[in-house]
Amino acid sequence: MNSITKKEILSFANLTKSQQTFSKIDCLTTREDNLANEIPVALVYNGISHTVMMCSPQNLADFAIGFSLSEGIIDKATDIFAIDELETHNGIEVRIELSSRCFMRLKDMRRTLAGRTGCGICGSEQLEQIHKKLPILHHTLHFPISQLENCLVQLTQAQALGAVTGSTHAVGFFDQDGKLLAIREDIGRHVALDKILGWHATQQNLQGFLLTTSRASYEMVQKTISCKIEMLVAMSAATDFAVKIAEQHNLSLIGFARKERATIYTGKERLII
């Protein structure tokens, strides 16, 4: 599995040590706590800054690829020729060298995003921009629903950053047998999703599905569909708009994934009972 250890997380400077006061019934104590770092990350395409997002500062190349794919800036990972990371006094610049064709497309569709860890129609200038052109997914995935509980256990155990901070989201990619192949964590759920989508794009049409610790918003559904992944499982609920988009594009969408239960919103045909 493509994951990182607790020791490696600390070496990546993803944490800030801070003295905090803790309350326990009628007693106050002071001890060191781990805070997840939240860093401004600018995605710069061919010299033009396109967006700034607040991120956990690891797996940023994956983020650049995944964001570029899910936003329709590129069609495939090889449309990006190079990715360089530059630390500045204000944050991190991720400099992305695009093909000329994709850069022309970006200039045509360009918009300014207001990056944040919450959600919304981040900087869309017109309402029509939230209705993206998305593929209709095929039915090639088959997953035994009885394996879902084991997937939840695997994802929880693999959250190295979340385990020491308690403040990050995670998205895992599982194969059809329910084996966790990769996990990405971030303070932002959309960014965590983009990171795992970027990893997936480099894996040569790997078949499987996504499991996220968050709810399933319309944007997370759109991003999943845009990368032709056929199933998204969320530990929390889905929104009504997310369910509508999933239905329209044949995405299997599952929410409230917990021990011995789940809500299947759409695409039950892919599940083996």
Query: Which of these is catalytic: 27, 55, 102, 119?
Result: 119
d(CA 99, CA 86): 21
- The span from the CA of 163 to the CA of 143, in Å, is 28
SS3 91: coil
**256 marked as part of a ligand binding site:** yes
Please state, in angstroms and rounded to a whole number, the distance separating the CA atoms of residues 113 and 264. 32
Q: Which helix (H) or strand (E) holds 100?
A: helix 100-109
Active site residue 227: no
Helices vs. strands in the chain: H and E counts, helices first: 8, 15
Is residue 216 a known part of a binding site?
Answer: no
Q: Is 105 annotated as a binding residue?
A: no
Q: Is 257 flagged in the annotation as binding?
A: yes
For residue 32, give both structure tokens. 């060191």
102: left (phi over 0), alpha (psi -120 to 50) or beta: alpha
Closest CA to 39 of 95, 90, 114, 96: 90
Give the DSSP per-residue string, 64-92: HHHHHHHTTS-SSGGGEEEEEEEE-SS-E
Classified as helix, coil or strand, 270 is helix
Looking at this protein, which amino acid is placed at residue 26?
Answer: D
Any known ligand binding at 173? no
| 210 contacts 222 by C-beta, under 8 angstroms | no
* Residue 103 marked ligand-binding: no
- Token readout for 36 is 């997840």
User: Residues forming the annotated binding site?
Assistant: 256-261
Annotated active-site positions, please?
119
